Structure 1
Amino acid sequence: MPSSPRTLLINPTVTSRSSARFPLSLLHLSAALDRHGSSEIIDGNVDRDVVDETLRVMQQGGFDAVGISVMGGPQLAPAIDVSKALRERFPATPIIWGGYFPTLYTETALTAPYVDYAIRGQAEESLPELVAALGKSPSVLANIGGLSWKNGDAIVHNANRRFSLTDDGLVLPYDKLGDPRRYLARTFLGRRTAAHQASIGCRFRCTFCGVAAMFGGATQLPAAARLERDLSYLKYELGVDSIQFFDHNFFDREQDMIPLLEVMAKLELPWWCYARADALLNLSESSWKLVRKSRLKMAYIGAESPSGQMLKEIRKGTRPDQTLQVAELCRRNGVIPELSFMVAPPQNSEEETEHTFEFIRELKRINPGAEIIVYIYTPLPDSSRHEKDRGKHPGMPLLDLDGAPVVFPQTPEEWTQPQWVAYACHADAPWLTDALRRRIHDFVTVLRCRFPTVQDMRSPPWAKRGLSAMATWRYRYRRYDRPWELNLANRLVRLRMPQVSGL
């Protein structure tokens, strides 16, 4: 009788150890794999030398495959390092990449000699099927939804798989992380904040969004009983006192949210989530009563732009006036809106950026407690969008400063170059001039010094008050250029930047 397959799951390093949160994607995969086999997890955010730890565990033998979760940006280089080391030391072991990077850049991932298979989108069903099919005929592989693979010199893309929110009646296998309490962090929400994801997907189709590219406008919410079981385990077994929800869009249709809000109102764990302005504005007063009782502290809302035309072009589905309204609504209900904006679009970059700066000032007048996150607008290439959206709503061609078409990287290694890591992190773009790049940096410096984030638990209150006072005159008179004194003070205080470190 053949033995059950055994899989090693790896989360390459992407944060500091103090910022490590539960590797939720690998916990879900591990639970799925363990139904018909077994699995182990290596988390590079805790096991800092992820390559040595991987080789040590592999040396013990018995693994049929290695699955590596890969996001773009800073996680890509360590993913490459561990993949190359595995290929060199254990050349016969299949290496499977999953997550956002191989979903958005499938062909690019499979050009690498150290990647054998790429799973697009959700992997809870595809990965166990793939592991069970290893060593069998190509016809078996061809039936696995969401899989891309190498058949000789050709790359084969199987049909997409409809995703689902499976529930086997068990909480996630947190024990596979050693002591799961080391993943609980002190944040402005509480002393033991845990990361959790209740729903998956998003039913909106924003053209710039990796979630839309991954899930194609679909979403699934959990049953209320499942949410209560999961949160009760975190609260009563692990001692969690607050929750950071990683749901791609927590508030969906009100009628579907009410049972979940009732569970959370019963448990009263302070929480943070992603949300949309229109969804919050559409909640009834009775639902807002549940939101307040559940102790929602902050909602991250993608405002994106003050331009109605741009919001239409990126298929956001919201309006600038809704952004202003939700800032006031959150103020009345004791919720901090964390509003993100994308500046410097490829067309009219300077004009649109200055317009956004003024809109941010209006938001701060309406709700001084609103927090602002500023990113560079870096749209996905059309080839990376979900197959249902490719070719639809094409924007103007992306051109660099010389007027030449932007050519995206063709290999994983090229995506690790600093300019492309910055692009993936919405921190820079090929069409930005040095002057505009400096203008954005200076505005953000003045803004974050004038209004230090409540998420900063490290800087002493006196230092934040001092920086705010120093920045007041610059902010009042719009004197953003070259804030040398704030840059100097920041070397000593080092205010937290939520767009880099989040909670």
Structure 2
Amino acid sequence: MNHTPHTLLINPTITSRSSARFPLALLHLSTTLDRDGSSRIIDGNMDRDFVDKTLHALDERSCTAVGISVMGGPQIEPAIAVSQAIRAHRPDVPIVWGGYFPTLYTETALRAPYVDYAIRGQGEDSMPELIAALHAGDTAKLPTINGLSWLRDGELVHNASRPFSRNGPPVVLPYDKLGDPRRYLARTFLGRRTAAHQASVGCRFRCTFCGVAAMFGGATALPPMARLERDLQYLKYELGADSIQYFDHNFFDREQDMIPLLEIMARYELPWWCYARADALLNLSESTWKLVRKSKLRMAYIGAESASPSMLKEIRKGTRPDQTLAVAELCRRQGVIPELSFMVAPPENTEEETEHTFEFIRELKRVNPQSEIIVYVYTPLPESSKHEKDRGKRASTPLRDQQGEPLVFPSTPEEWTQKQWVDYACHADAPWLNDKLRRRIHDFVTVLRCRYPTVQDLRSPTWAKRTLAAAASWRYRLRRYDSPWELNLANRIVRLRMPQVSGL
């Protein structure tokens, strides 16, 4: 046995190479594992043969365990594939699932014969403790590891949840474990070499539909100024990044806490994109907006969610439709593009709410034509997947399918790979939608994105986007969304970029 534990960390394929970004979760996890051992990262987004590469890595060096980061949706299938391959090739090596999916669907993950342990929430403290216990063969330690779920004699055991950790990495993330980290710098509308980064973690808001709220329970942690400066210095001067895509769950928190961070970003002047809230941006003072402009914020992704005040209240969003309109106007004045996301087709008043949202989007476009619009289908989390603090707090109408039957969520990872559930996880479809409304949403989105092509599309030639915008203008003006056959045909040739599918 090696004197120190060694962990293999896997990021199963979830996107194309061109859309691949730093696997930040595994990089953060690796820094903590390396304090008392070592780790290796295999990224399926870059290495398409990541299953074979994983098996070779297990042959090359003894491993204490394999940790697999699992999101919902399209990442489930490759996560299953690599887990099954590991189990068949090396049945003695423990398999640990961590991330969004095993946190929200813990029992579902552990029902699989190829998952031995599940880490709920943050793994930076739980995973090293688990690896240390496994390396020492000390199974008596397992019940003491907060945030761990596991099987004991065939019975599911859920240890106490781990408190939110505000400790960030003490050193620059080990980007060299990814091979050449520069291959992750992408050409985007922000710049030619856009780097992904996460400064803060969590969100202090508790939206009932949000996986971030389920993961972190309304907590957030901002980075120390020195750490942000250290990271930006490395990304800009060592890797050559010329812009940043911040994956912070909610970048703008309280203004007084943001000012020191914005002052650092203003010095580096790296154009950036982030997630934000309408109320937070509206509450910024003019002096802070001056810093925001100097730091070169180009686009803010804002969860508008709904045009209905009652729905916003129901999902505990904490914002209002008038604030959405106000922030679109504010962004226009400040030179920032608002990327506004909406959730249509809720389980109740499905068609009425959807048409109301369409009209609200048109109003937003009148206020600020540069507003980018992302349309999702509203697919709420099951009650069992919410954070333990939020379960059962308010009675909600049971979800039902088109036939009026209660919605039964998958009980195994394999069931989550079925198209209907992949679409549900990706907010692309819901069991209560009928074909007519499904087509209506698709047609509206087609007309909207042809009439207003996204600035994020660098692939489609300008003439093609202008031609499509002109072709869609009469439909948009007259609200003739149904069966836009000519736009669908043109899209097969031009293939406009869809940010809700491909991201930045």
In which range does the TM-score fall when normalised by the shorter chain? over 0.9
**TM superposition shift of 1:139:** 3.4
Note if contact 2:196-2:247 (Cα within 8 Å) is conserved in structure 1.
yes
Give the match's secondary structure for 2:298. Answer: strand
Distance 1:187 1:137 in 2: 48
Letter paired with 2:410 = P
**TM superposition shift of 1:137:** 4.4
**TM superposition shift of 1:78:** 0.1
Note if contact 1:32-1:124 (Cα within 8 Å) is conserved in structure 2.
yes
Distance 2:371 2:144 in 1: 49
Letter paired with 1:7 = T
Q: TM-score under structure 2 normalisation?
A: 0.99
Residue 115 (structure 2) pairs with residue 115 (structure 1): yes
**TM superposition shift of 1:61:** 2.5
Distance 1:272 1:441 in 2: 27
Partner of 1:91: 91
Distance 1:51 1:41 in 2: 13
Partner of 1:100: 100
Partner of 2:195: 194
Letter paired with 1:36 = D
Note if contact 2:43-2:50 (Cα within 8 Å) is conserved in structure 1.
yes
Instruction: Map 1:427-446; keep pairs closer than 5 Å.
Output: 427-446=428-447
**TM superposition shift of 1:169:** 3.2
Letter paired with 2:193 = R
Distance 2:285 2:309 in 1: 26
Give the match's secondary structure for 2:189. Answer: coil
Residues 469, 2 of structure 1: alpha-carbon distance in 2 compared, 3 angstrom cutoff: closer
Note if contact 1:449-1:464 (Cα within 8 Å) is conserved in structure 2.
yes
Distance 1:167 1:196 in 2: 13
Distance 2:277 2:170 in 1: 30
Aligned length: 503
Distance 2:286 2:81 in 1: 52
- Give CA deviations for 1:454-486 in whole Å, capped at 9, x if unaligned: 000100000000000000000000000000000
Give the match's secondary structure for 1:39. Answer: strand
Letter paired with 2:241 = V
Residues 487, 49 of structure 1: alpha-carbon distance in 2 compared, 3 angstrom cutoff: same
- Give CA deviations for 1:299-335 in whole Å, capped at 9, x if unaligned: 0000000100000000000001000000000000000
Instruction: Map 1:335-374; keep pairs closer than 5 Å.
Output: 335-374=336-375
Distance 2:138 2:59 in 1: 28
Residues 2, 44 of structure 1: alpha-carbon distance in 2 compared, 3 angstrom cutoff: closer
Letter paired with 1:31 = T
Residues 43, 2 of structure 1: alpha-carbon distance in 2 compared, 3 angstrom cutoff: closer
- Give CA deviations for 1:354-402 in whole Å, capped at 9, x if unaligned: 0000000000000000000000000000000000100112321101000
Give the match's secondary structure for 2:144. Answer: coil
**TM superposition shift of 1:202:** 0.3
**TM superposition shift of 1:58:** 1.1
Residues 75, 2 of structure 1: alpha-carbon distance in 2 compared, 3 angstrom cutoff: closer
Residues 42, 468 of structure 1: alpha-carbon distance in 2 compared, 3 angstrom cutoff: same
Instruction: Map 1:140-289; keep pairs closer than 5 Å.
Output: 140-289=141-290
Distance 2:6 2:57 in 1: 12
Give the match's secondary structure for 1:407. Answer: coil
Letter paired with 1:345 = P
Instruction: Map 1:299-318; keep pairs closer than 5 Å.
Output: 299-318=300-319
Residue 59 (structure 2) pairs with residue 65 (structure 1): no
Partner of 1:409: 410
Distance 1:280 1:157 in 2: 39
Partner of 2:320: 319
Distance 1:398 1:19 in 2: 34
Residue 85 (structure 2) pairs with residue 51 (structure 1): no
Partner of 1:385: 386
Give the match's secondary structure for 2:330. Answer: helix
Partner of 1:487: 488
Give the match's secondary structure for 1:149. Answer: strand
Partner of 2:28: 28
Residues 483, 168 of structure 1: alpha-carbon distance in 2 compared, 3 angstrom cutoff: closer
Note if contact 2:133-2:139 (Cα within 8 Å) is conserved in structure 1.
no
CA RMSD of aligned residues (A): 0.9
Note if contact 1:190-1:242 (Cα within 8 Å) is conserved in structure 2.
yes
Partner of 1:292: 293
- Give CA deviations for 1:184-230 in whole Å, capped at 9, x if unaligned: 00000000000000000000000100000000000000011110100
Letter paired with 1:101 = F
Note if contact 2:28-2:169 (Cα within 8 Å) is conserved in structure 1.
no
Give the match's secondary structure for 1:142. Answer: helix
Distance 1:137 1:26 in 2: 25
Letter paired with 1:97 = W
Distance 1:433 1:49 in 2: 39
- Give CA deviations for 1:263-312 in whole Å, capped at 9, x if unaligned: 00010000000000000001011100000000000000000001000000
* Misfit runs of 4+, over 6 Å: none
Letter paired with 1:416 = T
Give the match's secondary structure for 1:36. Answer: coil
**TM superposition shift of 1:492:** 0.3
Give the match's secondary structure for 2:288. Answer: helix
Distance 1:377 1:169 in 2: 39
**TM superposition shift of 1:236:** 0.4
- Give CA deviations for 1:104-150 in whole Å, capped at 9, x if unaligned: 00000000010000000000010000000115444311111100011
Distance 1:236 1:488 in 2: 45
- Give CA deviations for 1:395-454 in whole Å, capped at 9, x if unaligned: 211010000000000000000000000000000000000000000000000000000000
Distance 1:236 1:432 in 2: 50
Note if contact 1:313-1:393 (Cα within 8 Å) is conserved in structure 2.
no
**TM superposition shift of 1:59:** 1.2
Distance 1:497 1:392 in 2: 36
Q: Which consecutive residues of structure 2, in runs of 5 or more, have no partner in the other structure? A: none
Distance 2:94 2:362 in 1: 53
Give the match's secondary structure for 2:347. Answer: coil
Residues 43, 404 of structure 1: alpha-carbon distance in 2 compared, 3 angstrom cutoff: same
Q: Which consecutive residues of structure 1, in runs of 5 or more, have no partner in the other structure? A: none
Distance 1:454 1:304 in 2: 21
Partner of 1:8: 8
**TM superposition shift of 1:166:** 2.2
Q: Which moved more, 1:355-364 or 1:45-54?
A: 45-54
- Give CA deviations for 1:3-31 in whole Å, capped at 9, x if unaligned: 11000000000011111100000000111
